[in-house]
Structure 1
Amino acid sequence: MKVGILTGGGDCPGLNAVIRGIVKSAPKDIEIIGIMHGWKGLITGEVTKLTDDDVEGIHIIGGTILGTSRTNPFKSEENKNKMLENIEKLGLDALIAIGGDDTLSVAAKLSSLGYKVIGVPKTIDNDVSNTDYTFGYHTAVNVGADAIDRLHSTAKSHGRVLFVELMGREAGWITLEAGLAAGAHLILIPEYPMTLEEIVRYVNERMDKKSYMIIAVAEGFKPTDLENVIGDKNEVDAFGHIRLGGIAHYLAEIIKEKTGYDTRSVVLGHLLRGGTPTAFDRILGTRYGVHAMKLVLEKDFGRMVALRGNAIVSIPLEYGIATKKFVPFEYYKLAQIFFG
């Protein structure tokens, strides 16, 4: 039996733990084929065989040994046909796709065509539905909180308003939890927009009483009086997403103009993705990988592994992409207690 593995979309800490979990838990008569650079590798036919030796100790390393890309093979008929031809050429009896909403949407389409697919949810934003957590998120929150911790002293020393931009296209989980953990004085996330005047009011009220302010803002946050999110509309990926970035700089400039305070912006960006995964993410990734192989051995295809409480379960693949998991208002209300 041949089982393919691919990692698609953005990298995040814990991917290698999943790969290791799959390979190590596979019986000796199963051949594991690593597909390079996500769905792109199934179009080009770039693959590598994975053995126990290849995955030794990789769970402590960030990124993915298989590489990744944001490739949508269903975007063109030619690429779709190349992918299907390569699945047949490689003799893959099953495919484990590790990725977020976009990667899993391709996996679900393949499954609907009759291919034997298992999904493993991966997104640093923690916004895949029907799973409590995705690996990589815990590491990102820790890195974000540590960075904001460090910014308190410099902001206070100079009496500045600091805008810290974190990842979060549509869901603000990282920004909320990193900001809450590190004592940010205002947290701005896509789910609960504010007007620029509301932000100005928070800044003036805080700065009237204290000497500095730190504002955590998600990259996908958009003030209600701004027409579009801030990003490069000329750079769109294969799934139609524009490249986000720049909201912290934009807000810093506007707030400086409106209040006169000394403002600065810091973009954490890919720092949140990189480096060694936390113990939590190593273990979660490992458990996901082992359970994915278990589903293959049980021939229970068209499923996605998920975390429910402390149990690893499986759900229909389409449930994982049905909706986005957004920050509930009650949680945001908790954070609001500490604004100002």
Structure 2
Amino acid sequence: MRIGLLTGGGDCPGLNAAIRAVVKRGTSDLGCSIVGFNNGWRGVIDGDARPLTRDDVSGILVHGGTMLGTARCHPHKVDGGMEAVRDTFDNEKLDAFICIGGDGTLKAAGKVSKELGVPVIGIPKTIDNDVVGTDAAIGFDTAVSVATEAIDRLHSTAESHNRVMVVELMGRHSGWIAVTAGIAGGADIIIAPEEPFDIGQIVKRIKHRHRYKDFSIVAVAEGAVPAEGTKWKGGETLDAKGNPIAGSIGTEVTKAIEEATGFTSRLTTLGYVQRGGIPTAADRLLGTRMGFSAIDGIVAGETHKFTALQGEKIVLEPFETMMGKTKWVPEQLLHAARSL
């Protein structure tokens, strides 16, 4: 079989582990030829392809990012995009695609599979961990580890200077990083998109805490929003399309806390640091297992599906499981964040 391989959406640690697994398993054990497309679906549309061999993927396991490059491009949103994908599929004499990406890239993969009748298997990767149907996506563990270490480091400067330290973490629509890293790092207040916040209650909690501790750590997801009807005087935190403006909610929350409490407050916005650098062992392992499952699924004829970690097993789920949905942080974790 001749299989096209691409990575789309934002980069994250663990992508190279999945690429490596697909290539090594496919070429050595299954007799497949792997064709890599540069820069995601944009590369497929443009026919920007190259063969991938074991030698090409040697040593990439420990590297962050993706050796294939990536782009935020969805064929069904590009004029003539779907037709170009079909042409590339035929011209390269492909039998199937393996697409590694987040919710947007996987939704595009599902449309390519259904509308063009092209066999596709997806592999979920996103530090936001918001793909429905899988317990974890590639990149999430590394992002949480980086965020937790940052919170750990902020504790010392917060305590030394008697400050409120606000750290803004990625999470446009769900608060997986803020909640899990906040709990793991011992943040005193955690603000996630799943629960619109009341700045008055946050100020009240910080004042109460400072009766016996002179510092506080606040973890806030970039997609957090104030609750309707609360006394929020902050500036605009969403762009014209309704997407969070990076750094804005952290800035506004920091200003509001300092103005209401009189406590010196400082903001740290981690931004792209969370999805860069060396992948953790967990992300290397997850990427490898999902890569193996994807190529095995293609050979077995199980397509129009994506790999999913469910418990201890990697299974194949239909694209319909995740399309048009968001995996929210469960109430159990939100309750822990509130209680701690």
What TM bracket, shorter-length normalisation? over 0.9
Alignment partner, residue 53 of structure 2: 51
- Runs of 5+ in structure 2 lacking a partner? none
Q: After superposition, what is the alpha-carbon deviation per residue over 1:196-245, rounded to whole angstroms, capped at 9, x for unaligned?
A: 211111221122221100100001001114699955626x6xxx856533
Shift, 1:84, TM fit: 2.3
State how far apart, in whole Å, the 1-side matches of 2:156 and 2:234 are: 33
State how far apart, in whole Å, the 2-side matches of 1:171 and 1:87 are: 35
Alpha carbons of 1:74 and 1:20: their partners in 2 closer, same or farther (altered >3 Å)? Answer: same
Alpha carbons of 1:52 and 1:230: their partners in 2 closer, same or farther (altered >3 Å)? Answer: farther
TM-score (norm 2): 0.94
Q: After superposition, what is the alpha-carbon deviation per residue over 1:144-194, rounded to whole angstroms, capped at 9, x for unaligned?
A: 111100110101111111110011111111111111111100000000111
Alignment partner, residue 330 of structure 1: 332
Q: Which moved more, 1:266-275 or 1:73-82?
A: 73-82
- Corresponding residue to 1:302 among 298, 301, 304: 304
- Corresponding residue to 1:141 among 132, 139, 144: 144
Alignment partner, residue 106 of structure 1: 108
Identity %: 45
State how far apart, in whole Å, the 2-side matches of 1:106 and 1:228 are: 36
State how far apart, in whole Å, the 1-side matches of 2:258 and 2:243 are: 30
Q: After superposition, what is the alpha-carbon deviation per residue over 1:18-70, rounded to whole angstroms, capped at 9, x for unaligned?
A: 00010000145421111111111112221221100010121111100011111
SS of the equivalent of 1:26 reads helix
Alignment partner, residue 158 of structure 1: 161
Alignment partner, residue 277 of structure 1: 279
Q: After superposition, what is the alpha-carbon deviation per residue over 1:88-141, rounded to whole angstroms, capped at 9, x for unaligned?
A: 222221000111110011111111121110011111111111111112111111
- Aligned residue identity for 2:310: R
Alignment partner, residue 63 of structure 2: 61
Alignment partner, residue 239 of structure 2: 233
Aligned positions, number: 334
Alignment partner, residue 249 of structure 2: 247
Q: Is the 8 A contact 1:14 1:282 kept in 2?
A: yes
Q: Which moved more, 1:256-265 or 1:219-228?
A: 219-228
SS of the equivalent of 2:225 reads coil
- Aligned residue identity for 2:311: G
Q: Is the 8 A contact 1:222 1:228 kept in 2?
A: no
Alignment partner, residue 126 of structure 1: 129
Q: Does 1:203 align with 2:206?
A: yes
Alignment partner, residue 19 of structure 1: 19
Q: Is the 8 A contact 2:27 2:54 kept in 1?
A: no
Alpha carbons of 1:287 and 1:110: their partners in 2 closer, same or farther (altered >3 Å)? Answer: same
State how far apart, in whole Å, the 1-side matches of 2:334 and 2:288 are: 31
Q: Does 1:30 align with 2:32?
A: yes
Q: Is the 8 A contact 1:230 1:244 kept in 2?
A: no
Tell me how large the CA RMSD over aligned residues is. Answer: 1.8
- Corresponding residue to 1:213 among 212, 216, 220: 216
Runs of 4+ deviating beyond 6 Å: none
TM-score (norm 1): 0.94
Q: Which moved more, 1:124-133 or 1:319-328?
A: 319-328
Alignment partner, residue 116 of structure 1: 119
Q: Is the 8 A contact 1:222 1:230 kept in 2?
A: no
Alpha carbons of 1:227 and 1:309: their partners in 2 closer, same or farther (altered >3 Å)? Answer: farther
State how far apart, in whole Å, the 1-side matches of 2:79 and 2:217 are: 49
State how far apart, in whole Å, the 1-side matches of 2:200 and 2:324 are: 35
Alignment partner, residue 192 of structure 1: 195
- Aligned residue identity for 2:130: D
- Aligned residue identity for 1:122: K
State how far apart, in whole Å, the 2-side matches of 1:230 and 1:276 are: 35
SS of the equivalent of 1:307 reads strand
SS of the equivalent of 2:210 reads helix
Alignment partner, residue 8 of structure 1: 8
Q: Is the 8 A contact 1:220 1:230 kept in 2?
A: no
Q: Which moved more, 1:29-38 or 1:96-105?
A: 29-38
Q: Is the 8 A contact 2:169 2:219 kept in 1?
A: yes
Alpha carbons of 1:112 and 1:229: their partners in 2 closer, same or farther (altered >3 Å)? Answer: farther
State how far apart, in whole Å, the 1-side matches of 2:236 and 2:176 are: 19
Alignment partner, residue 265 of structure 2: 263
SS of the equivalent of 2:131 reads coil
State how far apart, in whole Å, the 2-side matches of 1:32 and 1:229 are: 49
State how far apart, in whole Å, the 1-side matches of 2:7 and 2:110 are: 15
Alpha carbons of 1:230 and 1:39: their partners in 2 closer, same or farther (altered >3 Å)? Answer: farther
Shift, 1:83, TM fit: 2.5
Alignment partner, residue 292 of structure 2: 290
SS of the equivalent of 1:244 reads coil
- Runs of 5+ in structure 1 lacking a partner? none
SS of the equivalent of 1:215 reads strand
Alpha carbons of 1:55 and 1:245: their partners in 2 closer, same or farther (altered >3 Å)? Answer: same
